[in-house]
Structure 1
Amino acid sequence: MPPFEQHPLRRILSDEIHARPPVALDTPACVTYLAFTHHEGSAEREAIHLQALATQLGLPVPTTGSGYLLLDAGGFQLKWERHNEFSSYCFFSRGSADDTDSKDHALRHVPQAWREAIPGLLIAATHIEVRSTAELPPQSVLHQQSPGGQALIASKVAGGAGWVLTDFHLHDGFSHFLVLDEHFTPRQAGRIAQRLVEIETYRVMALLAFPVAKQVGRLVSRAEDELADLMDGMDQARSAEDDRALLARLSRLAAEVERSVALTTFRFGAAAAYYRLVRQRIEDLREERLPGFSPISEFMDRRLVPAIDTCSSIARRQDDLSARIARNSQLLRTRVDIELERQNQELLAQMNRRAKIQLHLQETVEGLSVVAITYYASQLVNYVAKGAKDLIAPLTPEIITALSIPVIASFVFMGLRRMRKALAKEEGSGGH
């Protein structure tokens, strides 16, 4: 290639399309699938655990950074995948038809101590038997009951290239699928097995939201009743104290609902995403109905769809409740703010009246100050005139004092007025 500057993710994104291909299966074969949810750092311990298996089997130490690994131990193959919430371990065993009758299926060659120490919490476990229709005719098993007596779920898949039978119940801790190969190619058989284990895993992962939905449903019902009671209280509130008490209760309710939303939004969103994956994998099977039997798609419509619809309904109710509480809180805050504004206006009016009274008092005091200052100043003039009465003859001290009174009063009045204007100007400039 020309020396173009490469995007750092170009190779990774290109390889992602081809990652995690299905393992080709030759009939007869056994597949055992285990899925473990991540728990208390189990995802970080998986790499060490897988490397321990490779060392025990004399295989090269694998790398797990890509989140995908395929180990071929001769007697079995292991495909490991890490997902957001869980990691899967799919074991493939090749052998004769007699090997499919083994109790451990594809796990029979896996070291027992190693498989019992897989980190995480087991969420899905599935056995798949792939048998030839020449060896096991479909009609010989279609009308048999499942090991637990439950009705079989059966359909033709892949355009009639094979058959799938199951009851979706757990037997000895595992769900079981029987795949009858009429004319599968090895890769086609591998794809069918992969879709079946994905349907089983994603079905269970989607149902993780159902217990959460039941719990949230009780919370939502109680919160809706409490919200209705608060709205009745809002209509009956007669004072600002009543509004503030209602606002405190409404804020507490909002915090409780928002906490529930924060804790459950991911779970409900994941349930919807897992359900879409289940529907897609069922469509990929290309099922054909068998007379007298329910296909996998019909079984999921009857059993899984109601649970998913319940989760979706509860999620919508919770979001709607959160929005209603927010609207009512805003309404109540507006009422409280209006009442506070009214009280502030009354307080400002009272302050304004007090300021006017203080101004009148100040003007009265200023008038008295002019009189007092004029009186004391005229007395000073009188004392001076008496001391200089020989110099001011023929005027007398009394006449001088009388003449000085209006002059002194005018100067004092003008001085106080100028001082008041200067103070008012300084206060006005300080406010700007």
Structure 2
Amino acid sequence: MTTLFPIPENHPQRFVLHNEVHARAPSIGSLPVRASHLALLLSSDEKMQERKHLTTLCERFGVAKPEKEADHFSATFNSFQIRWEQHGEFSTYSFYVHDTPKEPFADSALKKVPVDWMSQLTGQVIVAAHTTIVCAADINYDENADLAALSVHFADNPVIGSKVTGGAASVFTDFRIHVDGFSRFLIINHDLRTEQAGRLLQRLFEIEVYRVMALLAFPIARKLRPALNKSDRQLYSITNAMTLPDNNDSELLDELTTLAAEVENYISSNHFRFAAASAYYQLVQQRVNDLREVRIQGIQTLGEFIKRRLEPAINTCESISQRFTQLSERVSNASQLLRTRVDIIIEKQNQGLLTSMALRAKMQLRMQQMVEGISMVAITYYATSLIGKIAEALHLVGWKVNPELIEGISIPFILIIIAISSKRIHKIIANTTE
């Protein structure tokens, strides 16, 4: 891109990142509108397939297909509008039809979508919702009248709702899945602009999706609770045994190591799910705040209902996650304490072994010195015997020598020579070892 000023070269992702803020702008075309929303959990392979499947729909209606690496797509077909988004764990499809039947939920937007194409969608449905934006006159709505009349649109279930978007609309739901497999949101238009309506629909759909995604961790938390209690009791038994004087530290250390491996396995296997639950719950709270709810007298607001139902489950997940983390720290502390005790015992054993080795070496030295003294006597004996033999030989050839006298005189000299030689050998050995 040509620049007017001599600034450095652009980062390769500069424009992609800059335009990301406009990438998922909600747009519904016009009012009134009916919408159907699907959120599907997909594997990596299924994510590749759904992009091809979306391309098939575009080719069928002669619409420009999404780019190869696109993670969101919007297009208008003959009788409906589609909005697709691919997220980390799930993908969402929003279908819009710009008319309103006499009954808000009598005819859904999905009926305009080709049945054969819908039947080949990949993944598992985690959220399915119908939403209709109507005028108050279309359903004879009077905010001052009894709101129980709205229950007829929700299979006579109790209704939850509030005024939203600064009073420009009222939203009602029962947060239940109906016989068609879809939940329902009814939006009554007081003074909505098209852009407001698009943002409102998007927020409601995101609240429903993120609410359910946050709750994916709740069954895991309930399933892990018995294992957590069991591990906690096992740690208590081990630490209690550590206080007894006759315990086997090596066996306790093996048990602690096994327990630490089990606890870390639980943490590593479920850390992502618990962290995701916390992140999704924050998104739900943010989207509820974005609605700017105003209470309608006599019924709960969406935020109140979600907080009362969702917050205890999220607190349970956070509690289980924190308890596992604390248990891991306690196991680590107990392991360090036990290893210290084992190391001290080993050091004491090593000290005893070294003392025993030193005693043996001292005894060997004493024995060696005794043997050395005996050896000196033996060498002296053989040396004097040799000198005596030489003196006898000289006496036989005529020398006037007394063999016995010479043999006796040679003894001290031989001893002195052997002692000097021994000290020299000891000195040489000492210098060599140094």
| Aligned mates of 2:146, 2:81 — CA distance in 1 | 28
Secondary structure of the 2:422 match is helix
User: Counterpart amino acid of 1:308?
Assistant: I
Alignment of 1:26-41 (within 5 A): 26-39=30-43, 41=45
1:151 alignment partner in structure 2: 158
Within the alignment, does 1:185 sit opposite 2:190 as a pair?
A: no
Contact 1:385 1:392 in 2 (8 A): no
Contact 1:39 1:121 in 2 (8 A): no
Q: Which moved more, 1:414-423 or 1:365-374?
A: 414-423
Shift of 1:183: 0.8
Residue ranges of structure 2 left out of the alignment (5+ in a row):
none
Within the alignment, does 1:354 sit opposite 2:368 as a pair?
A: no
1:132 alignment partner in structure 2: 135
Secondary structure of the 1:205 match is helix
| Aligned mates of 1:217, 1:350 — CA distance in 2 | 53
With the length of structure 2 as denominator, give the TM-score of the two structures: 0.93
- Which of 310, 314, 317 is residue 311 of structure 1 equivalent to? 317
Within the alignment, does 1:80 sit opposite 2:88 as a pair?
A: no
- Which of 275, 294, 299 is residue 269 of structure 1 equivalent to? 275
RMSD: 1.9
Contact 1:213 1:311 in 2 (8 A): yes
Contact 1:29 1:100 in 2 (8 A): no
Shift of 1:167: 0.3
User: Counterpart amino acid of 2:110?
Assistant: L
With the length of structure 1 as denominator, give the TM-score of the two structures: 0.94
User: Counterpart amino acid of 2:169?
Assistant: G
Alignment of 1:5-404 (within 5 A): 5-39=9-43, 41-98=45-102, 101-103=105-107, 105-139=108-142, 142-144=147-149, 145=151, 147-171=154-178, 172-239=180-247, 242-389=248-395, 393-404=399-410
Contact 1:207 1:271 in 2 (8 A): yes
| Aligned mates of 2:317, 2:73 — CA distance in 1 | 34
User: Counterpart amino acid of 2:137?
Assistant: A
User: Counterpart amino acid of 2:50?
Assistant: E
Secondary structure of the 1:41 match is helix
Contact 1:389 1:396 in 2 (8 A): yes
- Which of 412, 422, 428 is residue 416 of structure 1 equivalent to? 422
Contact 2:34 2:100 in 1 (8 A): no
Shift of 1:378: 1.7
| Aligned mates of 1:101, 1:311 — CA distance in 2 | 35
| Aligned mates of 1:388, 1:142 — CA distance in 2 | 147
| Aligned mates of 2:382, 2:249 — CA distance in 1 | 62
Contact 1:126 1:175 in 2 (8 A): yes
Q: How many residues align?
A: 425
* Poorly superposed stretches of 4+, deviation over 6 Å: none
Describe the shift of the 1:392–1:93 C-alpha distance in structure 2 as closer, same or farther (beyond 3 A). Answer: farther
Describe the shift of the 1:40–1:16 C-alpha distance in structure 2 as closer, same or farther (beyond 3 A). Answer: closer
Secondary structure of the 1:389 match is helix
Shift of 1:181: 0.9
Describe the shift of the 1:378–1:389 C-alpha distance in structure 2 as closer, same or farther (beyond 3 A). Answer: same
Shift of 1:187: 0.6
User: Counterpart amino acid of 2:307?
Assistant: D
| Aligned mates of 2:216, 2:394 — CA distance in 1 | 114
Shift of 1:100: 5.2
| Aligned mates of 2:243, 2:89 — CA distance in 1 | 48
Q: Which moved more, 1:385-394 or 1:288-297?
A: 385-394
Q: What do residues 119-153 of structure 1 show as CA deviations (whole Å, max 9, x unaligned)?
A: 22211111111112232343378322253332100
Q: What do residues 82-128 of structure 1 show as CA deviations (whole Å, max 9, x unaligned)?
A: 1111111111112354595554x121121212222222221111111
| Aligned mates of 2:380, 2:276 — CA distance in 1 | 92
Describe the shift of the 1:54–1:296 C-alpha distance in structure 2 as closer, same or farther (beyond 3 A). Answer: same
User: Counterpart amino acid of 1:366?
Assistant: E
User: Counterpart amino acid of 2:147?
Assistant: L
